[in-house]
Structure 1
């Protein structure tokens, strides 16, 4: 995760469209006595049986956890609860051999979704990729990935991005490679949250995980006065116009969000004298954002978030 932090900081220091406002960070931190604790499964939308099937569920969930906004009625909750219901109905639904064979219509049926999903072909491709590599390298079980990592979230992210190309959330920005790793990191965070830091969710280095740079967190940070946009970028976002994947604007929105929350975390740790986890800040910011659906967010068609 050092690469994520370092390259995000580099983007923030060379940004043309997004500014991280230090005074805005200080103001927000002054108003927070402690991070409001958000229970990981606060709406009961996830499958959980305290065993390896939960790990399999979370890996499938995070393989598909991207790009909801083109369909105004679709949300993360539909994905999480739809996959939960399908697994409750058929415990073999996410077996590696079956993941390799799903079609778009079959995925829709799993989720009980009445029309084509955004980037449906990509979602199906990623399901096939996950099933194939799980079968080839991990005896079909996502739990075997976790067990191979020796309670290290950093190693887990490294193994996932090495074995599963669909999780390689990289961008090129002004001649520099930038590492963001949203979905690989959120798998570690989901495990930690679901298992409450025990069993498959026990990581000795959970503090190494950064926030998960998506389209909600930048919108919340803008609302809080932590991020400031150029007038051109602000007008694009407020008009609900699309921003190209890998564009300077998109990379800056995501990388500056990571950098800004790292600065928030450091300041809060100094203030409280206790370790503050980026993963806790991320969950708080994300829950704040989904409770304010009218917040204007950037729109990018991407498999990474």
Structure 2
């Protein structure tokens, strides 16, 4: 079992001084740092880009497969069904002893602040909300193109909006073609899952126009300052965000990109205005490629020999397969258990969003970390 600091050391980079570490000696200083382009190959949101951290001491009923989520139960369903998968998993094991060992090394956790000078558009108003919703609609599956990263998407959309404030108007979103999207992003070749990206843009534009007067800000205002309600509303109205599947005969909910939208708003607006949510602590981690790989490195997750071989040989894992569902759901469940233990240790509420950031930050600095490969519109 490795600590988070040893994950950094193994990758040839120094443990960030603002992150918890129990390995004070032998750290390399500043070697092997990576550019933003490398760090965002796995589709993390603006909340995770160019983060500044503050320290806080730690001392001291399921729906049928095609139904929309109920407002009161969206995040309850994510937690309950992830736990259900973890209790029946055939390929991924959540190691309770590994969780306890990791938590015992944690001295403090980072707080998240938005980067206002980076690659993201921000005007502190409704246009930022529209930008974030379009961004999170397209924020998935970059890995098939080794040169394409999250940075290209975020900065490309920012530039497009700066050049034309109407670029993301609902009627415009419904008309984009693949080549036009590439031109918008200034990308020289077809995007991974390009047809799906175009379809999702059309869906966003159509549904915003039909129910929210074309504005994502109106969607946000309908949630009553509840992140849970926002996740449920997004998944209810926009099928492309409806991140759920069936595992061993039971429906499993993850809602990664819908949760990211809520988390991005919270981060961008500093928990105020469009980002004010009374229940931000209800969000789980955003189950992706990086977090499972880091949890495995830490000894929190253990893989079957067959799954480990597939990942280590860069083989693809099909969307909706037992292996893929277990990787994501077991990650959610494991981090929820970590959060509970850390909260008990610290005597304060710890956000899953904070832990997601923390684990992901370790992973993106390690370009040799082997993650699973799945073609999916959900992450």
User: Fold-level match, TM-score > 0.5?
Assistant: yes
What is the RMSD of the two structures over their aligned residues, measured on CA atoms?
A: 1.1
Of 188, 201, 221 in structure 1, the residue corresponding to residue 262 of structure 2 is 188
Distance 1:262 1:200 in 2: 26
Map 1:1-305 onto structure 2 (within 5 A): 1-41=75-115, 44-305=118-379
The offset of 1:36, in angstroms, is 2.4
More helix by share: 1
Q: Comparing 282-291 with 159-168, which one deviates more in the overlay?
A: 282-291
Distance 2:145 2:117 in 1: 21
Distance 2:224 2:110 in 1: 30
TM-score, with normalisation over the residues of structure 1? 0.98
TM-score, with normalisation over the residues of structure 2? 0.79
The offset of 1:52, in angstroms, is 0.5
Tell me, which stretches of 5 or more residues in structure 1 are unaligned? none
- Aligned pair count reads 305
User: For the pair shown, which has the larger CA radius of gyration, 1 or 2?
Assistant: 2
The offset of 1:295, in angstroms, is 0.7
Distance 1:218 1:129 in 2: 30
Post-superposition Cα deviations, 1:107-154, rounded to whole Å, max 9, x if no partner, equal: 111111111100000000000000000001000000001101110001
Distance 1:43 1:69, change over 3 A: farther
2:27 match: none
